[in-house]
């Protein structure tokens, strides 16, 4: 662990740091979820097909997946705050460009750029947590981040729907631009730099690739990244297909869709806070090993309900709630376990973790969109595969907990 003199304690400085990092991490879910209710309006206004509008979401996932590989090494070299400055500035400017666009092709490009900026608030907070805390304390801090960022999926579709009704879809991107600008100012004024100059690494490109290659060969790192990534991929499959399943198949009114979305987010938040209280009583490895089968069974129950129709809407809602809640246990622990041995390259480790997991998530979301939308079976099958895949990854890469 990097020794610094800016380590927060469990007081106001700690709470301020957690709130700032949580709000930054929430930027990704906000940019993904807030404009989902506006897809039909965007298609109509820009005279585009629904598929092209959906491509703007895919472009965001692709940008998030691959852009993170840049910010990790950059933050290890220049410091955490300069990386945040760059990312937040790009996010803010590209959000303005999204609001001003007149063609769907430009929207797709601007969403990709928006994602490249939004990578920094995903990568850097994990590295800051690793700078400050050991593995056990990192789990608590990451669970707290989930609490703050978990508010985003609850509020984003509801806020997006209200903005859409009152001022149109462009207002959604103006709000995202304002959000980026506000937190850029907050980072500049209130967030302390967690990586001292003496600990920074001026890495040539060859060394960056060598670090990534070493991490990819690290079975412990890959085990935690891939097992957690499978559950995360299930979450993105849920995000990609839930509006169709609820609204089109089960006739849930669009203005009530956010309630179902928010209920699952509440389950995620509650699980993350229970997880924070389990730290110290159980190891992170024990928690993940216990919860992963629950995610697999929830996915299989979802597939069974979608295939047979047993339980109707609630046959879908209940196992889906359980699956999403499992993420609140899995992600903080697998992230902390993956990052713990790599304090000197925390930015690079965080970047590779995010790149791999968002690549898995982008793939699962694309799979949901590529199948026929006549039933909920493809949606459920992808999520079930992710749940079972998480269990298999945990067994395929036996991991040794860090000392």
The answer on pLDDT for 174 being more than 60 is yes
Q: 295, 390 in Cβ contact below 8 A? A: yes
Report the topology of domain 12-396. Growth Hormone; Chain: A; (1.20.1250)
Residue that has been written with the tokens 């969403």 in this structure: 111
* Among candidate residues 343, 342, 297, the one with its CA nearest the CA of residue 323: 297
What pLDDT shows up at residue 16?
80
**Of 59, 57, 66, which Cα lies nearest the Cα of 33?**
57
pLDDT of residue 399: 57
Q: 177 or 282: which carries more pLDDT confidence? A: 177
Question: Quick one: pLDDT at residue 402?
Answer: 43
Query: DSSP characters for 132-194?
Result: H--HHHHHHHHHHHHHHHTHHHHHHHHHHHHHHHHH-THHHHHHHHHHHHHHHHHHHHHPPP-
pLDDT recorded at residue 67: 82
Measure the CA–CA gap between 200 and 364, rounded to whole angstroms. Answer: 36
pLDDT, the chain, mean: 83
Mean pLDDT of the 190-201 span? 75
Residue whose tokens read 């990568």: 123
pLDDT digits (tens, 9 = 90+) for 199-220: 666 667 787 788 889 999 998 8
Range with the lowest mean pLDDT among 333-342, 360-369, 374-383? 360-369
Q: What is the pLDDT of residues 313-334, one digit of tens each?
A: 999 999 999 999 999 899 889 9
In the chain, domain spans: 12-396
Judging by beta carbons within 10 Å of its beta carbon (0-12, 13-18, 19+), is residue 3 exposed, middle or buried? Answer: exposed
Dump pLDDT digits (tens) for 22-52.
888 888 878 988 887 787 788 889 998 766 8
Residue 274: CB atoms within 10 A of its CB come to: 14
User: pLDDT at position 3, please?
Assistant: 41
* Higher pLDDT, residue 100 or 349: 100
Torsion of CA 387, 243, 31, 77, to 10 degrees: 20
Residues 6 or more apart whose CB falls under 8 angstroms from that of 38 comprise 160, 164, 169, 172
Cα–Cα–Cα angle for 21, 190, 172, rounded to 5 degrees: 55
């Amino acid at each position: 662990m990097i020794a610094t003199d800016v380590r927060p304690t469990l007081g106001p400085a700690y709470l301020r740091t957690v709130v700032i990092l949580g709000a930054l991490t929430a930027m990704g879910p906000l940019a993904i979820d807030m404009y989902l209710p506006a897809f039909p309006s965007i298609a109509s206004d820009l005279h585009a097909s629904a598929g092209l509008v959906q491509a703007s979401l895919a472009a965001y996932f692709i940008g998030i997946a691959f852009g993170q590989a840049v910010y990790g090494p950059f933050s290890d070299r220049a410091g955490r705050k300069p990386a945040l400055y760059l990312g937040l500035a790009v996010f803010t400017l590209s959000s303005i460009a999204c609001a001003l666009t007149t063609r769907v092709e430009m929207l797709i490009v601007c969403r990709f750029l928006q994602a490249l900026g939004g990578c920094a608030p995903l990568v850097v907070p994990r590295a800051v947590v690793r700078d400050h805390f050991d593995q056990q304390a990192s789990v608590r801090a990451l669970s707290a981040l989930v609490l703050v960022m978990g508010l985003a999926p609850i509020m984003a579709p509801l806020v997006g729907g209200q903005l859409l009704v009152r001022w149109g879809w462009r207002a959604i991107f103006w709000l995202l631009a304002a959000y980026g600008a506000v937190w850029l100012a907050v980072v500049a004024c209130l967030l302390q730099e967690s990586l001292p100059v003496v600990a920074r690494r001026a890495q040539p490109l060859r060394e960056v690739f060598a670090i990534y290659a070493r991490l990819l060969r690290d079975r412990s790192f890959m085990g935690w990244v891939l097992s957690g990534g499978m559950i995360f991929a299930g979450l993105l499959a849920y995000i990609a297909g839930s509006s169709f399943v609820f609204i089109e198949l089960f006739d849930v009114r669009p203005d009530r869709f956010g309630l179902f979305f928010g209920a699952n987010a509440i389950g995620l938040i509650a699980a993350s806070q229970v997880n924070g209280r389990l730290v110290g009583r159980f190891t992170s490895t024990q928690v993940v090993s216990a919860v992963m089968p629950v995610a697999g069974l929830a996915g299989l129950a979802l597939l069974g309900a979608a295939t047979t129709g047993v339980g109707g809407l609630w046959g879908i809602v209940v196992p889906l709630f359980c699956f999403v809640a499992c993420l609140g246990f899995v992600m903080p622990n697998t992230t902390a376990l993956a990052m713990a041995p790599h304090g000197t390259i925390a930015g690079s480790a965080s970047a590779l973790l995010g790149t791999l997991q968002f690549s898995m998530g982008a793939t699962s979301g694309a799979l949901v969109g590529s199948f026929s939308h006549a039933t909920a079976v493809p949606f459920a099958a992808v999520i079930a595969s992710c749940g079972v895949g998480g269990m298999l990854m945990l067994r395929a890469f036996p991991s040794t907990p860090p000392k």
